[in-house]
Amino acid sequence: MSRPGGSGTSVLEGASSDRAVPSPVVGPAGPRSPRGHRRRPGHRARVHWGRVAAVLLVVGALIVGLVDDLRTQVRLHHTEVEQTQVRHAVELAGRVLHLTQDTLRRLAAGQHVDQAALNVAEGELATAEQRLAQAEAGLALSNLDVAAIRACITGTQGAIAAIASGQDQSAITIIDGVAPACESLESPGPGGPVYPFDFPDPDLIDVGGTYYGYGTNAAGGNVQIIESTDLTHFALVGDALPELPAWATPGDTWAPGVFELGARFVMFYTTDDGRTECISVATATSPIGPFVDRSTGPLVCQRTLGGSIDPSPYLSASGEPYLTWKSNGGSGQPATLWTQALSTTGTALAPGSAPVALLQPTESWEGDVVEGPFMWSMNGTYDLFYSANNWDSADYAEGVATCAGPLGPCTKPLGGPILASEASFAGPGGASVFLDAQGNPQIAFHGWLPAAVGYPNARLLFIRPLSFAGATPAVGPAG
């Protein structure tokens, strides 16, 4: 039980511990699920299966990216036949993603993979190849490496067949051979995603010139972690939080927030204690973890307000640690964004402090939802970035409020979002802000591809420059 000074029960319930005991990183886990309804099957620690999973997922993301490029060219050609081809390919992309994710889930859980399902997956990949040939016949694909696309699809078909027949080593050999072709297709064009797999609620930090991204649970594990040295090409590192505390529900881990404090890294994340969505904390001595959570209960869990999610730690202008988060809403109260001071270790709420409400939905574009807070202090100012509206739609968007200090008060100066759906993405949100190696502010966020909005499609990682030159922050165009 945590109390904000003196006796009496706070709206924040739970307990935590600062002890950190290293444990081994575990490889990719189960399929993505929508926020608040996560599932995580058992892990099987096989580095090679991580490569198999990555290439299988490349195919799904590749088809979605290909379709998006084709749709752009179709609009230029304005032919009914080509529009039909792309519409069919869009439908196919969703089915391929679902089938490959299901296969991955079964493999990660050590379960028997249904031969019928694998046959369907192989058939879908064959159809993808056919759609590609049909689209190629009517469109100029000068900016796509068609040979690499075909090699990736054909190789993945062979790997699936090998998996189905129990020839694990053969599947690994095939994946190793076809991986360069698949990986060559990941480089995005201007404005496109910088990581072509499901990576919701991204939080990016720079550690010595290497950028580390942490995201909601998906195929990469409880807390996905990726890394890059150029903010253009990201590689999967693994699972930053391979073990959950005993009180947490497996598979329910999302919206991580990480900061470096002293000689260690502190991660806050959302999970479920079996009754309510709550917030916990884990620590590590390295940005890639493993982060360890030895707590016996939640750090923050506002049960009477519908639970607490989307934690994000930050340092004030004078260097004191704080935590922001969202309460879902309940007992007649709307969704609310909160903040509270942290202890000097950054792993507990500061003794004698109390949670302070920063923001509630007041604008029509917010759709009665505010969430995903991220406080950024620069040049003595405080800007609270937040997401609003329905996360599973193109109406989702990113807003910003200006605050007088780390505890507010905060106001909304724009009357609309700072970042909304555009040609490259739809439903942007879950944003975090960071400085690149040159000291330039950047904003990282997830978004749907415009042709694939809503679950079970993937939310991909995008990055844009951010300017603080005016009265309010402004998102710049892609580089």
Q: Are residues 169 and 246 in the same domain?
A: no
- pLDDT at residue 221 in the model: 83
Element (H, E) at 461: strand 460-467
Among the listed ranges 4-8, 148-152, 444-448, which one has the minimum average pLDDT value?
4-8
324-371 pLDDT tens trace: 999 999 888 999 999 999 999 999 999 999 999 999 999 999 999 999
Q: What is the pTM of this model?
A: 0.66
Residue 462 forms part of a structural domain:
yes
CATH number reported for the structural domain that contains residue 285 in this entry: 2.115.10.20
Parent domain of 61? 47-183
Residue 168: per-residue pLDDT: 66
Q: Report whether pLDDT(291) > 80.
A: yes
Tell me, yes or no, whether 14 lies in a domain: no
Q: How much is the pLDDT for 167?
A: 77
- Residue 457 pLDDT grade (very low, low, confident, very high; cuts 50, 70, 90): confident
Q: Which of 140, 155, 183 is the last residue of a domain?
A: 183
Q: In the numeric block, which tokens belong to residue 381?
A: 């100012």
Identify the residue with better confidence: 123 or 236: 236
Please state which of the ranges 129-133, 367-371, 398-402 shows the lowest mean pLDDT: 129-133
**What was the pLDDT predicted at 6?**
32
DSSP letters spanning 21-82:
--------------TT----------HHHHHHHHHHHHHHHHHHHHHHHHHHHHHHH--HHH
Residue 400 lies in a domain: yes
Whether residue 90 is predicted with pLDDT greater than 60 in this model: the reply is no
The type of residue at 228 is S
Strand 410-411 relative to strand 426-435, pairing: unpaired
Per the domain annotation, does 407 fall within a domain?
yes
Instruction: Please compute the mean of the pLDDT values over residues 52-66 and round it to a whole number.
Output: 55
Q: Mark whether 120 and 207 lie in a shared domain.
A: no
In-domain check, residue 236: yes
Q: Dihedral through CA 219, CA 203, CA 254, CA 367, nearest 10?
A: -120
Most confident of 58-67, 170-179, 186-195, 435-444: 435-444
Residue 108 shares a structural domain with residue 179:
yes
| 319 pLDDT higher than 50 | yes
What is the CA 246 to chain-centroid distance, rounded? Answer: 24
The predicted pLDDT at position 151 comes to 66
211 and 349 assigned to the same domain: yes
Q: Is the pLDDT reported for residue 65 higher than 60?
A: no
Residue 425 neighbours by CB under 8 Å, 6+ apart: 193, 447, 448, 449, 450, 460, 462
Give the span between the Cα atoms of 168 and 11, in whole angstroms: 51
* pLDDT value, residue 474: 95
Judge if 65 and 210 occupy the same domain. no
What's the whole-number mean pLDDT along residues 182-203? 73
Segment 109-130 shows an average pLDDT of 63
Q: Comparing 203 with 252, which gets the higher pLDDT? A: 203
Rounded Cα gap, residues 386 and 365, in angstroms: 13
Q: What confidence category does residue 192 fall into, taking pLDDT thresholds of 50, 70 and 90?
A: confident
265: pLDDT strictly greater than 90 = yes
The pLDDT value given to residue 158 = 76
Q: CA 275: distance to chain centroid?
A: 24
Task: Check whether residue 421 and residue 466 sit in a common domain.
Answer: yes
Distance CA 274, CA 290 (A): 24
397 in a structural domain: yes
351/271 same-domain check: yes
Portion of the chain with pLDDT greater than 90, in percent: 50
DSSP string, 141-197: -TTS-HHHHHHHHHHHHHHHHHHHTT-HHHHHHHHHHHHHHHHTT----TTS-SB-S
The C-alpha angle 213, 226, 278, rounded to 5 degrees, equals 55
Q: SS3 breakdown of the chain: % helix, strand, coil, rounded to 5?
A: 25, 30, 45
Same domain flag for 136 and 241? no
pLDDT at 243: 95
Q: Is residue 32 part of a domain?
A: no
pLDDT greater at residue 190 or residue 14: 190
Name the average pLDDT for the chain: 77
Q: State how many domains the chain has.
A: 2
How would residue 406 be classed by pLDDT, with cut points 50, 70 and 90?
Answer: very high
Q: What is the pLDDT of residue 131?
A: 58
Residue 340 lies in a domain: yes
169 lies in the same domain as 266: no
342 and 248, same structural domain?
A: yes
256 and 393 in a single domain? The answer is: yes
Among 151, 183, 215, identify where a domain stops.
Answer: 183
pLDDT at position 126 over 50: yes
On whether both 233 and 374 belong to a single domain, the answer is yes
Domain boundary among 118, 153, 183: 183
Question: In angstroms, how far is CA 316 from the centroid of its own chain?
Answer: 25
CA proximity to 139, closest of 97, 180, 84, 179: 84
What local confidence, expressed as pLDDT, does residue 451 receive? 80
Higher pLDDT, 250 or 417: 417
The pLDDT value recorded for residue 159 is 72
